[in-house]
A and B are shown apart, each in its own frame.
Chain A
């Protein structure tokens, strides 16, 4: 398995533009997570899905952020409009559906580094 695949790896955009980050989880994994890494807050959970259904989106910072999972092999995180404070590394992770989600090992993608000018 190629692991969790994220694209793009790097994105530089101007304030006000729409940004779409993409993720392909590991086949057979039932959970998909979107995290954001910043120096001040570390890794913050934005949203997670179970079997393509959003379970908890309480970490989504504002209405400018939205996430979808139209099928088991694809998810997007969209920011519209983007702002400089959204600059961060965004990680997608997936985990198996067995056992507790909080105790399952997450497999992370390599991340998408977003810079909003």
Chain B
């Protein structure tokens, strides 16, 4: 059973516009969330994270929002650049139960020049 879900397999955005990638989770024990970015033929690399005690974390063009009541988080990229074209994975962990990262299936973002 998929505890972390990324329901949009792909997203296409114009350069300069906002990209919004969504992630839903079912395990209410999750208390830490991370986003990883993956380019073809490379391993995923860490992008940004958020603890459940916060509802927003920002790092440059990247902002992650967490809505605990809806069990939903989103990654905003503003402005989007062609170099942001990659697969984005959402991941979550629960310190009270194993504390191992559970990943979603990924969303492929294409930023059109």
Given known A-B contacts A41-B2, A43-B44, A91-B43, A106 and B95 have beta carbons under 8 A apart: no
A109 to B43, Cβ gap below 8 A? yes
CA distance A103 to B50 in the complex (A): 9
**Chain B CB within 10 A, most for which of A42, A56, A109, A111:** A42
Q: How many residue pairs at the A-B interface have CB separations less than 8 Å?
A: 71
CB contacts (< 8 Å) of B51 on chain A: these are 103
CB contacts (< 8 Å) of A39 on chain B: these are 105
CB contacts (< 8 Å) of B43 on chain A: these are 4, 91, 93, 107-111
CA distance A98 to B98 in the complex (A): 16
B95 to A102, Cβ gap below 8 A? yes
Q: Per-position contact with A for B15-36: 1 when CB-CB < 8 Å, else 0?
A: 0000000000000000010101
A101 to B100, Cβ gap below 8 A? yes
Given known A-B contacts A91-B44, A110-B42, A110-B43, A103 and B32 have beta carbons under 8 A apart: yes
Say if the beta carbon of B45 comes within 8 Å of chain A. yes
Binding site for B on A (CB under 8 A): 4, 33, 35, 39-45, 48, 56, 91, 93, 100-103, 105-111
